[in-house]
Structure 1
Amino acid sequence: MKRIFTSADEAVSQIQDGTILMVGGFGLVGIPEQLILALEEKGVKDLTVISNNCGIDDWGLGLLLRKKQIKKIIASYVGENKEFERQVLSGEIEVELTPQGTLAERIRAGGAGIPAFYTPAGVGTITSEGKEIRNFNGKEYVLETALNADFSIIRAAQADHLGNLIYNKTAQNFNPIMAAAGKVTIAEVEEIVETGVLDPNMIQTPSIYVQGILQAKQEKKIERLTVR
């Protein structure tokens, strides 16, 4: 049985200043909305955040940016967030931009216990500066190190009481690999079901990677509304 939290505030109570934090999602899809809101209200600061991007100005990780709670972000995309762009250009936040596939593999490697790997992505660009370059079969590769976090906060569609998770379509995105790469993983889910209800063949994150569960509704805001 995994710990089932009764509130988002309780779920993030152990996350303190200076934490290295992985946050699941891609844009606004599959982000742990209520856990992020709880972190904003708690006011933790000097966070190192590992995420695909930094949300938008008024939602997701953009809420933490607005209150200057993030010291450093490791991401692949500055994207739709004007405040993120402003803080980067003014030097108010430290940013480590990483090619998206490399970011995903660094997180996956962290969860798999692989300390580093070589990739051709980024060779000859600013992202490879200061890193080891090796030649394999006539092609250059850059050494990238794995990523781990003190806490991973993720979003899933369903969980059982053991902590097995199922995601909804593309909301899977970065969530499963972040679940494996965090020392403590807290899953915000739409529904908690009895153990044995989930089809074992459909489970995408096994319970061994999950330490706590919060059932919470999502607003599911639209990142960029397009109408005719």
Structure 2
Amino acid sequence: MEENRIGSIIGWFRQRFGKQMNDLDQVKPCLCSQTCSSSHSNASSSVCSPSSSSYSLKSSISAKPSTSDQPLPSVLFSAFRSSLRYDVFVCHNDEDSDLAQSLTSFLEHPSNGLRCYLQERDCPVGGAVSTELLQAVQDSHCWLLLITPNFVRDDWCLYQMHQVLSEGPMSQRIIPAVVDMPRSKLPLELRFLFTVDLNMNKEFGNTQVYRAVLQYLKDMSEKEKSSNASQSDG
């Protein structure tokens, strides 16, 4: 009798706790399921976090590098490029400041790496505007003229344009970028130059400006190397 009683008690415990273990086994898959209800969201994140971390690590390894991870063009590390303080002098009317700053931000982005001069940002306080302007023009490899209806009505912009033309006439250094201006309305001095159209596709136009600057730096850097090599041979 005593053995039967003890056996009954043991059977009851097995039945009771075996059922709880089965219930837990049924809950566990729910914790890791994507269709799990919101009531289990906290438990799900704590249970699945190791596999999630592993997945994130795999994703970061297999993902392609972003544009900013790409190395800068080698010409940006050349001695010729380093000979001047700025890569691009940006000339624009005050009414077009937003457009000029947007283009400058693109050129100066870490993935592009250019150095730009903006008068409102880079002209030192207390400096004579004409003196600082002339210095910036002379200390820049290329000159970007943001040609808009505001530009052609602004005597100060036209003065800057003539300063640029006097420094490098008929050269790749002058980059006219046109917005809302037909060629027939461009200043006469610029109609013989190729222009960048920022009307149809702004992003493509920005890229054209960037490539034009790089091409000039590359051409002049190679020319300087050839000249130095010739002098060494001589």
Structure number with bigger Rg: 2
More helix by share: 2
In the superposition, the TM-score normalised over structure 2's length comes to 0.28
In the superposition, the TM-score normalised over structure 1's length comes to 0.28
